[in-house]
Amino acid sequence: MDISTASLSGQGTRSSNQDQLGDIIGQRSACFVVCDGIAGQPGGGLAAELARDAIISHFDGDNHLNAQHIRQFVLQANQAIQHQQKTSPDMHRMGTTLVSLFIDRDYQLAYWAHAGDSRLYLFRRGWLYHVTTDHSLVQQMKAAGHDTREINNNLLYRALGVNNDGPEASYSEGVLVEDGDVFLLCTDGFWHNVSESQMKSSLQMVNTPNEWLVLMNTIIQKNHATAKESQDNYSAVAVWVGSPEQTTLVHTFSDAAKFLPMRDE
């Protein structure tokens, strides 16, 4: 299974970039990680770095993916942040979002894990599908049918390093990967500025993952040029399986839905 990838990270108008990206493409399996340090608390960038490093350092791309290890990878990332919180009292509230994708190249299976509002999208057979559910108050309110116009978009109920009574992240089941699949891992600073329709239409105009990110970055830059408020860091990793630019596109959502995974819980 051929895998090609590209990444993008921008500072926006913030004083620093607290996003961290990482990937390993081994002979047997691959891992991709995007972390977004929680703003407003000291150490957000460090939390993102610790989480990224913990997952990447424990992942072995030269062996088949062991899905049972994914929870352990994320747990180790969470523990790394909690250890730093204890040794650095001024960073006791630091945390980070996480979105991670794991692919077994031989068995053609994909898994993902996420915490917070960094997202994973899957483009398959002409349709773009949001496969993660944000761990945010806004998302909870939307799911309950409430008006969210006055709700702070940045309020998260789950993130790495944040104390809660539930699991540290949400995990997917295994999903068969097809030739022509495209995955996009991105932070909220990215998806707030590029709509799903723009992601889809721009993908249909390019031949490489790098061209796709460049095109979407142009959209972000235009939005930033006209924005009246500060702009968040934004980051994304595009992962192409096989040859998406040669895949025959279906024309109805009902056809595409047959091939799409359900959201994780």
Task: Give pLDDT, residue 248.
Answer: 39
pLDDT in tens, 64-110: 999 999 999 999 999 999 999 999 988 888 999 999 999 999 999 99
Task: Give pLDDT, residue 257.
Answer: 52
Q: 3-state DSSP call for residue 196?
A: helix
Give the integer Cα–Cα distance in Å for 22 and 191.
19
pLDDT in tens, 184-221: 999 999 999 999 999 998 888 888 999 999 999 999 99
Give the integer Cα–Cα distance in Å for 226 and 175.
40
Q: List, as own/partner pairs, every contact residues 219-222 make where C-beta atoms lie below 8 angstroms and the sequence separation is at least 24, other chains included.
A: 219/193, 219/194, 220/10, 220/190, 220/193, 220/194
Model confidence at 115: pLDDT above 90: yes
DSSP H helices in 88-208: 137-143, 188-191, 196-203
Task: Give pLDDT, residue 140.
Answer: 62
- Helices 44-58 and 68-87 sit at what angle, rounded to 10 degrees? 140
Domains of the chain, first to last: 3-257 (3.60.40.10)
Bridge-based pairing of strands 127-130 and 119-124 is antiparallel
Mean pLDDT along residues 114-119: 96
- Which residue type is seen at 46? L
Task: Give pLDDT, residue 151.
Answer: 61
Give the end-to-end CA distance of the chain in Å, rounded to a whole number.
28
Angle at 207 between CA 201 and CA 192, to 5 degrees: 40
245: left (phi over 0), alpha (psi -120 to 50) or beta: alpha
When mean pLDDT is compared over 1-5, 23-27, 41-45, 222-226, the highest value belongs to 23-27
Radius of gyration of the chain (CA): 18
pLDDT classification of 251: cutoffs 50, 70, 90? very low
- The residue among 158, 3, 147 whose CA lies nearest residue 96 is 158
Task: Give pLDDT, residue 227.
Answer: 75
Angle at 38 between CA 165 and CA 85, to 5 degrees: 65
- Cβ-count burial 226-244 (b if 16+ within 10 Å, e if not): eeeeebbbbbbbbbbbbeb
Q: The whole model's pTM is what?
A: 0.89
pLDDT in tens, 3-37: 999 999 998 888 789 999 999 999 999 999 999 99
Q: 3-state DSSP call for residue 11?
A: coil
Tokens of 163: 């104390």
Residue 161: CA count within 13 A, CB half-sphere: 31
Give the integer Cα–Cα distance in Å for 236 and 35.
10
- The residue among 20, 57, 61, 55 whose CA lies nearest residue 37 is 20
The residues facing 30 across adjacent strands are 25, 103
Task: Give pLDDT, residue 103.
Answer: 98
Model confidence at 145: pLDDT above 70: no
Model confidence at 147: pLDDT above 60: no
> What secondary structure letter does DSSP report for 38?
P
Phi, psi (deg, nearest 5) at residue 101: -130, 135
